[in-house]
Amino acid sequence: MRYRVLRPPYCYRWAVLLSALVLATTAAVTLFSSAEGAPAAPAPVAAAAAQVTPAPATELPPPPAAGLVRSAAGQGRTVALTFDDGPDPVYTPQILDALTRAGAVATFCMIGTNAVRHPELVRAVVDRGMRLCDHTISHDEQLPRRSEQRITAEIAGCWSDLQVAADRDVPVPYFRAPGGNWSELLTTVAARQGMKPLSWSVDSRDWTLPGTAQIVATVQRAVQPGAVVLLHDGGGKRAQTVEALNQLLPWFTAQGYRFDFPG
């Protein structure tokens, strides 16, 4: 039996066909693997988020270089007593009585909201020959961070509250920044209202409630002729301040001090 033998041209054609098929299959598999198996690139948003750091806390503006009132108006052995954060219906009358008994004067740095609540105390302070100081409407210790409009509202608003509470045109010659946190803008706005920026030279630290003896000792140790002393008649329990004042007033007199207003 005879078999037909394939001639070389047919073998060549089948080899070429099989080779082409194998190459096409390999290319398809490679393309599919590249598209589906390659790792995804990191998302740009996630990378950016990882680099975000919290913004640093803003600091209070620097205090004015000069111009704060820290001394009494008179010369010699004078002392200017100042009382912050009132008026208070419990402690302001007691402090007024103590000052009157000693023949002393003082300056009361009042918060506008308290003046509105107790206008009779504003009138009592003025009637006793004391002076008023603007201590803003709300005692915002972050006031230097606020806008000029907000600062003006706090200072001018308190001035207006004191006028209405006093029920007369009453001088308010001073402004004191809440917490003693000053800025150039605060002093500028206060000056527009005709007020001097009132600071202090002796901090009694009565606001820490250290006890009557400690308040007395702090003031006696730090006071010098012309000092402006920081005390409080409001903002909390001030029984220690009242007791300390009753000891300090005769001590000042015995030391030859005269009571005055800030310069």
Catalytic residue numbers read 84, 232
Instruction: Report d(CA 233, CA 59) in Å as an integer.
Output: 29
Say if residue 87 is preceded by a cis peptide, omega within 30 of 0: yes
Query: Around Cβ 237, how many Cβ atoms within 10 Å?
Result: 10
Within its chain, how far is the Cα of 230 from the centroid?
A: 19
Token pair recorded at residue 46: 């996630």
Token pair recorded at residue 74: 């008179």
Query: Around Cβ 9, how many Cβ atoms within 10 Å?
Result: 7
Residues 85/120, Cβ–Cβ less than 8 Å = no
